[in-house]
């Protein structure tokens, strides 16, 4: 088993305009999907992120009071999962509920460092 990071980007605009009922429905999809990952022992962890943040460049000397990327590129959450391969992890990520809000999902394997 290898570990993979799923980076979820974009969708914030749509999230901000959704009705509480639709949001509740959407969160239930997260519940089902992450619940089945947990049942299969494929879930390591993961969190949604606030839209606000800071970005530091130039060896930390320059601080910008917003995340590095904006709009479709803004990272909105992450998940750590277990899978046999990148193909397998990608297969898992296809069911991520964030697609309902036009997010993009990037799947990356955790790199073992020697």
Partner 1 sequence: MEPKDHIDNTINHLFRQESGKMVAVLIKIFGTENIELAEDVVQDALVSALETWKYRGMPDNPRAWLYRTARNKAIDIIRRKKHSKTIDFSDPERKLLTSEYTLANTMKDFWKEQHIQDDFLAMMYACCHPDISQENQITFILKSLCGFSTKEVAKSFLTAEDTISKRLYRTKEYFRKNKIRPAIPFPEEIGTRTSAVLSAIYLMFNEGYNSTHDDQLIRKDLISQAMWLCKSLLDSAHTQLPEVYALMSLMCFHTARVDSRITEQGALILLPDQNRSTWNTELIRLGGNYLNQAAFGDTLTTYHLEAAIAYQHCTASSYKATNWKEILKYYDLLLHIDNDPIVSLNRCLILLELHGPEEALEAIKEIKDHKILDKYYLYHAILGEIHERLIQLNTAVEHYQQAIQLTQSKPEQNCLQQKIARILN
Q: Does 52 bind partner 1 (CB under 8 A)?
A: no
- Residue 81's Cβ-count burial label (10 Å; 0-12, 13-18, 19+) is buried
- Residue 18's Cβ-count burial label (10 Å; 0-12, 13-18, 19+) is middle
- Residue from the set 1, 14, 22, 27 that interacts with partner 1 by CB under 8 A: 27
Q: Does 109 bind partner 1 (CB under 8 A)?
A: no
Integer Cα distance of 14 and 78 in angstroms: 18
- Residue from the set 28, 84, 91, 102 that interacts with partner 1 by CB under 8 A: 28
Binding site for partner 1 (CB under 8 A): 27-28, 30-31, 34-35, 38-39, 41, 43, 45-48, 77, 79
């Amino acid at each position: 088993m290898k570990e993979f990071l799923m980076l979820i980007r974009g969708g914030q605009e749509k999230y901000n305009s959704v009705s509480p009922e639709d949001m509740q429905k959407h969160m239930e999809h997260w519940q089902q999907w992450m619940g089945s990952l947990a049942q299969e022992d494929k879930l390591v962890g993961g969190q949604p992120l606030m839209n606000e943040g800071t970005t530091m460049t130039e060896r930390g000397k320059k601080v910008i009071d917003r995340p590095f990327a904006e709009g479709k590129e803004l990272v909105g959450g992450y998940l750590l999962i277990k899978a046999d391969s990148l193909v397998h992890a990608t297969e898992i990520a296809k069911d991520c509920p964030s697609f309902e809000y036009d997010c993009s999902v990037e799947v990356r394997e955790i790199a073992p460092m020697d």
